[in-house]
Structure 1
């Protein structure tokens, strides 16, 4: 069985919900990623959302807001999706395809330990599985 931990990119970086979007963008640049899990220090550093580079552009900059004044917590919304590290990769594919999400945090012992992205999926699936995944996410 291939698990989420087997295919994830390890070492996902967190950003606290009180940090500003300009700091999130700097972290994304420095780590070469397009998304960061957002933690809530007031709730035991549990994940309270995820922020993407697209969120920063579309929900802040394009609306005329200052990324130095808007926090990650201001634009995180909804229940964050994640997968347990020991879960079969088929569960990750269903979660990502069913919710049309492109990145999925991987959690072990209630802590984010990595992230599954489209690139990780592409490296570990057959061509047929990859085609089905792409159809579900982008349909």
Structure 2
């Protein structure tokens, strides 16, 4: 896929998208709004469309805004990786604030994977003739 974003703005766009996902998740958690319900879902989908248009949702893209890439970036930012490692090492439960963020991250990741799959198969079901 060709990208309309210049190489110098590409990393900045990825940072902006990750920051907006973080804000959307935080807002939804604060209001008790599920991520899978509009308007939250629509806001996340718009970010997916932007990331896809910039070529960041393809495997091997740099920056990586695939579902896995987002998961890794936000898990690191939110301290989930270290919390999970610590919880495993001490054989204790994950603290509730981390568990809440983990659930939110899974929701975002699941939607992102579903959108990626659907987007990749669009042409298959919309051929003319």
Q: TM-score range by the shorter chain?
A: under 0.3
**Greater share of helix:** 2
Kindly indicate whether structure 1 or structure 2 has the higher relative contact order, using CA contacts under 8 Å at least 6 residues apart: 1
Give TM-score, length-normalised by structure 2.
0.23
Higher strand share: 1
- Structure of greater Rg: 2
